């Protein structure tokens, strides 16, 4: 069995190489980059061939994780129990939710209610016009005039999104203090630990990542970070990269709700599927070679706040810091993308790449390429492996590139922008799988965030974290893509 599995990585890597080369060649010959309105295919999702395509992707991504472990020189015994049970749990989580639509609908309704509660708080500070995106118009421009109509202001990002992040951060802290989220996290950790036979520390951190961010989850296992094995550190970091926090999940659900049915439920499911996928990928890429201090240990999450008011205050402060960081990041990164696109477009246009126009004098001028187009070429084969139809792969590939090089916030925001420009920008299946494929913190900036955040908790592990960082980011990306493949197989 093990001997057979050892031959799989070369096959998987060869397939991926062929796909990348063919994708680049195909994209060079055809324009797959948002040429204009398209017609999304009607009918049900997931023809048998498309499900087989997702199954192939799952095999390839698993093989790549295994190959990376072997290329690192690891000769530890393959953790078959962890891998088998990891896949069983991924499909079980997916099947329970996808085949029970009421769950997705209820999660979406709950998220919508949370957004309404957040709007209530934002309205108190900013007023109803900015929050609702509409203003009451009167004949004299004052309250004394007769009613004329409603003027649409539009979506004000800072007023709608940033207060939501703060509110959800506060609510998460309160639910942890009350023991509600603690009970859920502990139950999931117990299930994965007993079936997959992973250590208590790495399993609890991975389960916590379903709800909290990449630097908050390690706080739960802080006493064990200093003595954790490298394999455990790998699992902890991969878990941070493979998931998103609840605070931004609600925001992404708001971005996609008009285009992806029950988007909030699907994003929540992506977080659950990523938990066992995290442990599978981490143990393939860096198998355990030592005896973890928490092997077989079943411990609970400890409270860190004195009371519910302390929890609410801490959650609000952390939410404010996150909201300010998101706002600043969007300003600077959007400006950076515009700058790079201008330079990249000028250089590629000068050498004759990109769409061409002919002037009145007969001169041919090339407009050059954008970062989105370049990412579309590179990531199109990866998108195809998740089960997405080829004609949409460069579009999803562009989003994957934005997510990896910049972050998933900008990727979902760009997805919203393209959907608003063309509601048929993606097919129903492509849009659904893209929602799962983008659902993770795996990007280059997050490497520094995790190294800095976790090393504060365990200063003696900074060098280990630095060595593992890039590898863990790749692992987090693979785990997220596995989730998309699992959904592609099921639907």
Domain locations in the chain as residue ranges? 2-35+45-117+161-326+429-490, 127-157
pLDDT value at 38 more than 70:
no
Across 429-453, average pLDDT? 93
CB atoms < 10 A from the CB of 403, how many? Answer: 28
Higher pLDDT, 456 or 297: 456
- Chain segment 310-333, per-residue pLDDT in tens: 999 998 998 888 888 888 877 888
Select the highest-mean-pLDDT range: 16-30, 87-101, 339-353. Answer: 87-101
In terms of pLDDT, which residue wins out, 151 or 159? 159
Mean pLDDT of 158-170: 84
| pLDDT at residue 201 greater than cutoff 80 | yes
Burial 304-336 (b: 16+ CB within 10 A, else e): ebeeeeebbebbbebbeebbeebeeebeebeee
Region 166-188: mean pLDDT is 88
pLDDT at 13 over 90: no
Write down the pLDDT at residue 152. Answer: 43
Residues 132-144: what's their mean pLDDT?
Answer: 53
Residue 273 pLDDT more than 80? Answer: yes
Which pLDDT belongs to residue 83?
A: 94
Confidence (pLDDT) at 217:
86
pLDDT band, residue 141 (cuts 50/70/90):
low
Is 435 in contact with 256 (CB distance < 8 Å)? yes
How does residue 161 score in pLDDT terms, banded at 50, 70 and 90? confident
From CA 299, how far away is CA 316, in angstroms rounded?
28
Instruction: Please provide the average confidence, as pLDDT, over all residues in the chain.
Output: 82
Q: Is the pLDDT of residue 402 over 90?
A: yes
**For residue 364, what are the β-bridge partners?**
358
């Amino acid at each position: 069995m093990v001997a057979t599995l050892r031959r799989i990585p070369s096959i998987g890597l060869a397939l991926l190489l062929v796909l990348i080369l063919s994708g680049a060649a195909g994209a060079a010959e055809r324009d797959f980059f948002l040429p204009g309105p398209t017609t999304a295919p009607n009918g049900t999702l997931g023809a048998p061939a498309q499900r087989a395509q997702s199954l192939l992707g799952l095999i390839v991504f698993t093989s790549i994780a295994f190959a990376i472990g072997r290329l690192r020189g690891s000769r530890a015994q393959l953790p078959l129990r962890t891998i088998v049970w990891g896949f069983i749990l991924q499909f079980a989580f997916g099947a329970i939710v996808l085949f029970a639509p009421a769950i997705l609908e209820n999660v979406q309704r709950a998220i919508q209610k949370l957004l309404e509660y957040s709007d209530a708080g934002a309205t108190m500070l900013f007023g109803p016009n900015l929050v609702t995106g509409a203003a009451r118009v009167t004949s004299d421009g004052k309250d004394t005039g007769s009613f004329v109509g409603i003027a649409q202001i539009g979506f004000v990002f800072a007023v709608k999104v940033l207060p939501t992040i703060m509110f959800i951060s506060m609510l998460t802290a309160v639910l942890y203090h009350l023991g509600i989220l603690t009970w859920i996290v502990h139950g999931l950790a117990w299930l994965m630990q007993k079936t997959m036979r992973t250590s208590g520390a790495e399993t609890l951190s991975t389960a916590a990542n379903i709800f909290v961010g990449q630097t908050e989850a390690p706080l739960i296992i802080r006493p064990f970070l200093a003595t954790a094995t490298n394999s455990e550190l790998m699992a902890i970091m991969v878990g941070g990269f493979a998931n998103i926090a609840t605070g931004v999940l609600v925001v992404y659900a708001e971005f996609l709700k008009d285009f992806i049915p029950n988007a909030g439920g699907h994003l929540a499911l992506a977080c659950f599927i990523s938990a066992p996928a995290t442990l599978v990928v981490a143990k393939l890429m860096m198998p355990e070679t030592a005896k973890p201090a928490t092997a077989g240990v079943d411990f609970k999450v400890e409270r860190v706040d004195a009371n519910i008011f302390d929890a609410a205050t801490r959650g609000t402060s952390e939410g404010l810091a996150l909201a300010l960081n998101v706002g600043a990041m969007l300003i600077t990164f959007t400006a950076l993308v515009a700058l790079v696109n201008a330079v990249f477009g000028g250089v590629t246009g000068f050498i004759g790449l990109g769409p061409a126009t002919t002037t009145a004098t007969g001169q041919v001028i090339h407009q050059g390429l954008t970062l989105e187009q370049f990412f579309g070429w590179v990531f199109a084969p990866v998108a195809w492996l998740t089960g997405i139809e080829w004609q949409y792969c460069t579009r999803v590939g562009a989003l994957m590139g934005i997510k990896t090089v910049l972050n998933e916030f900008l990727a979902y925001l760009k997805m919203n922008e393209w959907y608003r420009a063309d509601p048929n920008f993606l097919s129903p299946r492509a849009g659904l799988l893209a929602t799962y494929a983008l659902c993770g913190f795996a990007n280059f900036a997050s490497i520094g965030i995790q190294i800095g955040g976790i090393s504060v908790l365990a200063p003696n592990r900074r060098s280990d974290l630095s060595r593992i960082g890039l590898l863990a980011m790749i692992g987090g990306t693979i785990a997220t893509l596995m989730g998309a493949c699992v959904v592609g197989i099921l639907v």
